[in-house]
């Protein structure tokens, strides 16, 4: 999730662009234009995140797969400042970790993709000491930091590829998941825009 700070979900032009659409609609209908704004930004954020989880993430993980049977949004976390991180979704995920691990280990593409993912994200380097094994063999032997396996699996669904490292490199091609997120955010902007006081 890219968060709500200068992202595809919300940026400094979002309200302006929506107001331009409202202005055009008013002109077409012979009505007087009134400047609009998002009435409750926190509720807008929650609505977007809730729909992302229910309409995008849950179907990706739970509909065609026996490893996950439910996911629920529990919180939307936002940093005090956006210097180093952005908004995050906190979710409760009901997932069978043993089945997921067995599925990754049994599928050559998933196993190789997970190995590349661990190597790319969890190899210690200057300024970063990793506590996660950086290859799939050691990772499954240690059986620790299981959220990393879930993260990888979610990314395979989002990028529709076992090789998420290669998929993430191509940052200019939006996935259908990202287009769907933008559509959800756009719908919520329309719903939460009200005449400015």
Strands 36-38 and 193-195 come out as antiparallel
Signed CA dihedral, 1, 146, 65, 158: sign only = positive
Q: What is the pLDDT along the chain (197 residues), one digit of tens a residue?
A: 899 999 999 999 999 999 999 999 999 999 999 999 999 999 999 999 999 999 999 998 887 668 899 999 999 999 988 888 999 999 999 999 999 999 999 999 999 999 999 999 999 999 999 999 999 999 999 999 999 999 999 999 988 899 999 888 766 678 889 999 999 999 999 999 999 87
CA-atom Rg of the chain in angstroms: 20
Domain contains 2: no
The answer to whether residue 4 is domain-embedded is no
**Phi and psi based region of residue 83 (left: phi greater than 0; alpha: psi -120 to 50; beta: remaining):** alpha
The parent domain of residue 74 ranges over 14-195
Number of domains in the chain: 1
Alpha carbon of residue 75 to chain centroid: 14
CA distance 12 to 59: 31
Tell me whether residue 6 is in a domain.
Answer: no
CA 69 to chain centre: 19
* Inside any domain, residue 48: yes
Q: How many residues does the chain have?
A: 197
Q: Exposed e or buried b for every residue in 21-51, given b needs 16+ CB within 10 A? A: ebeeeeeeeeeeeeebebeeeeebbebbbbb
Q: What pLDDT shows up at residue 44? A: 95
DSSP string for 68-133: EEEEEEEEEE--SS-SS---EEEEEEEE-HHHHHHHHHH-HHHHHHHHHHHHHHHS-BTTB---S-
- Is-contact 1 155, C-beta < 8 A? no
Q: Is residue 152 part of a domain?
A: yes
Query: Quick check: is 115 in a domain?
Result: yes
Nearest CA-CA partner of 39 in 15, 59, 57, 63: 15
In a domain, 7, yes or no: no
Residue 5 lies in a domain: no
């Amino acid at each position: 999730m890219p968060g709500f700070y200068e992202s595809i979900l919300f940026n400094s032009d979002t309200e302006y662009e929506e107001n331009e659409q409202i202005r055009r609609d008013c002109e077409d209908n012979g009505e007087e234009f009134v400047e609009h704004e998002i009435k409750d930004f926190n509720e807008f954020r929650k609505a977007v995140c809730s729909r992302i989880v229910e309409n995008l993430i849950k179907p990706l993980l739970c509909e065609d797969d026996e490893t996950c049977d439910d996911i629920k949004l529990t919180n939307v976390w936002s940093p005090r400042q956006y210097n180093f991180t952005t908004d995050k979704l906190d979710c409760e995920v009901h997932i069978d970790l043993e089945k997921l691990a067995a599925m990754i280990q049994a599928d050559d593409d998933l196993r190789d993709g997970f190995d590349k993912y661990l190597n790319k994200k969890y190899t210690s380097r200057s300024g970063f000491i990793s506590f996660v094994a950086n290859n799939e063999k050691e990772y499954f032997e240690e059986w620790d930091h299981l959220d990393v396996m879930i993260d990888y699996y979610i990314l395979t669904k989002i990028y529709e590829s076992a090789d998420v490292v290669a998929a993430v490199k191509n940052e200019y091609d939006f996935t259908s998941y990202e287009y769907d997120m933008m559509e959800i955010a756009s719908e919520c902007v329309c719903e939460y825009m009200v005449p400015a006081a």
